């Protein structure tokens, strides 16, 4: 079998024939006739990645208030034939910075609030490096650059890297070699889509595009009755159904904020509300763990930098941070729409996983 590590780099740089053969094998399908090389991708897990606001993220990944999203979509090939097509893809959307309406437009679940520094940990928690991981994205070079800057290990367990923008060229030729955007690729494959440029949505649609591209690579064989055996045809049907799976019905979003709030006030309050729901379900194994995380939190709170701004007319000066130990841990974090420093405090709370009480004053 081929040493995947030696081919990882060029699978997304132009060796489309090998990429087609590898993806087919990973999905339990016959190899391409052009390349009969055998790859060690048994029981592979496909992981689709999409980042938003990529240029700013590439330029300054250490900016604490940077707004970005990381979408992740996972396909475990062991479940292709056993799970319903509309549930086999596990899709996630992580957002950083202040909450915006776009964070509510994730179509496959609920967006999770995170921080730039925690994005790689979020991804690590979703993957099993003991499996054969096939990483993919549409125009993946940006995603790879970001993952490297964030310190993500692109070697351990990563069996192949696939760029659907390159992958499609041998299956859906374009005029004059023009590169298709994700949206145009989805339209070419007749994949229903909405709310693009939301990380989780794009990651999901990219995975579906790959599935239908693979099915399309068999189009000539499917026209001939005896070329493919029944098991292969059935497998292709499952894979095609995944690519054609419907977008879930419109989910009920969290309550809307008062319309009289300023956009920044609304964003701060929504951020707090999302975290409140997550944190109230938190648990910790021991009091020692609570104390350790409380100590780290307080230290980080002390390092927060408040962004100065003009005091709104008729309002009292914004309160400063205070912390009060009550039972396990109780942190009071007041906020106002000129006080952006508290946002980092709210974000940090998510990762302490301790019970908190929110109190704020405008």
pLDDT band at 164 (very low <50, low <70, confident <90, very high): very high
Distance CA 158, CA 6 (A): 11
Please state, in angstroms and rounded to a whole number, the distance separating the CA atoms of residues 331 and 323.
5
Return the pLDDT at 307: 34
* DSSP secondary structure letter of residue 11: G
Burial of 249 (0-12, 13-18, 19+ CB in 10 A): exposed
Residue 242 DSSP SS3: helix
Q: What is the pLDDT of residue 179?
A: 64
Q: Could you tell me the pLDDT band of residue 109, with boundaries at 50, 70 and 90?
A: very high
Find the mean pLDDT for residues 69-91: 96
> In the predicted model, is pLDDT for residue 252 greater than 50?
no
291 contact partners, CB below 8 Å, separation of at least 6: none
Percent of the chain whose predicted confidence (pLDDT) is above 90: 44
Look at residue 12 and tell me whether its pLDDT is greater than 90. no
Arithmetic mean of pLDDT over the chain: 73
b/e for 80-115, b at 16 or more Cβ within 10 A?
A: beebebeebbbbbbbbbbbbbebbbbbbbebbbbbb
Which architecture does CATH list for 4-243? 2-Layer Sandwich (3.30)
More confident residue, 94 or 338: 94
Cβ atoms of 241 and 211 closer than 8 Å: no
Give the model's pLDDT for residue 289: 56
Identify the pLDDT of residue 304: 37
Tokens encoding 235 = 């497998």
Of the listed ranges 119-128, 231-240, 264-273, the one predicted with least confidence: 264-273
Which single residue is written with the structure tokens 């060229």? Answer: 169
Q: What CA–CA distance (Å, rounded) separates 115 from 65?
A: 9
Kindly report, as residue ranges, where domains of CATH 3.30.420 are found in the chain: 4-243
Q: How far apart are CA 52 and CA 67, in angstroms?
A: 9
At 33 the three-state DSSP class reads coil
The Cα 46–Cα 5 span in angstroms is: 16
- The confidence band for 18, taking pLDDT boundaries of 50, 70 and 90, is confident
pLDDT (0 to 100) of residue 178: 60
- Higher per-residue pLDDT: 272 or 360: 272
- CA distance linking residue 65 with residue 67, whole number of Å: 6
What pTM, to 2 d.p., does this model score? 0.71
- The helix-helix angle for 199-216 and 16-26 (nearest 10°) equals 100
**Residue 342: how many CB atoms within 10 A of its CB?**
22
Chain centroid offset of residue 106 CA: 11
CA 256, CA 265: separation in Å to the nearest integer?
Answer: 13
The token pair that represents 233 in the structure block:
């045809």
């Amino acid at each position: 079998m081929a040493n995947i590590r030696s081919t990882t780099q060029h699978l997304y740089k132009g060796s489309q024939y090998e990429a087609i053969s590898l993806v087919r094998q990973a999905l339990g399908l016959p190899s391409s006739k052009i390349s009969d090389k055998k790859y060690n991708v048994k029981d592979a897990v496909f992981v689709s990645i999409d980042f938003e606001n990529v240029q700013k993220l590439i330029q300054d990944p250490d900016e604490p208030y940077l707004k970005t999203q990381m979408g992740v979509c996972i396909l475990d090939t062991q479940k292709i034939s056993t799970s319903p097509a509309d549930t086999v893809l596990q899709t996630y959307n992580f957002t950083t910075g202040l909450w915006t309406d776009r964070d509510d437009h994730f179509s496959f679940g609920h967006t999770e609030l995170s921080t730039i520094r925690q994005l790689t940990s979020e991804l690590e928690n979703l993957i099993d490096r003991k499996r054969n991981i096939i990483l993919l994205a549409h125009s993946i070079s940006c995603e790879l650059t970001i993952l490297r800057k964030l310190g993500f290990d692109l070697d351990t367990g990563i069996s192949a890297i696939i760029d659907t923008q390159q992958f499609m060229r041998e299956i859906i030729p374009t005029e004059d070699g023009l590169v298709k955007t994700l949206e145009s690729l989805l339209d070419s494959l007749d994949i229903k889509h909405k709310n693009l440029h939301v990380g989780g949505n794009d990651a999901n649609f990219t995975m579906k595009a790959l599935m239908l591209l693979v099915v399309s690579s068999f189009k000539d064989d499917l026209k001939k009755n005896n070329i493919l055996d029944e098991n292969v045809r059935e497998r292709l049907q499952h894979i095609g159904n995944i690519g054609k799976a419907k977008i879930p019905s419109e989910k009920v979003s969290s309550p809307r904020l008062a319309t009289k709030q300023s956009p920044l006030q609304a964003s701060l309050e929504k951020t707090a509300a999302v975290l409140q729901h997550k944190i109230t379900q938190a648990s910790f194994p021991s009091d020692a763990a609570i104390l350790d995380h409380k100590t780290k939190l307080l230290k980080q709170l002390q390092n927060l930098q408040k962004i100065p701004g003009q005091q709104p007319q008729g309002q009292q000066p914004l309160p400063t941070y205070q912390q009060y130990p009550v039972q396990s841990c109780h942190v009071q974090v007041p906020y106002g729409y000129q006080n952006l420093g508290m946002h980092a405090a709210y974000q940090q709370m998510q990762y302490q996983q301790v019970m908190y009480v929110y109190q704020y004053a405008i």
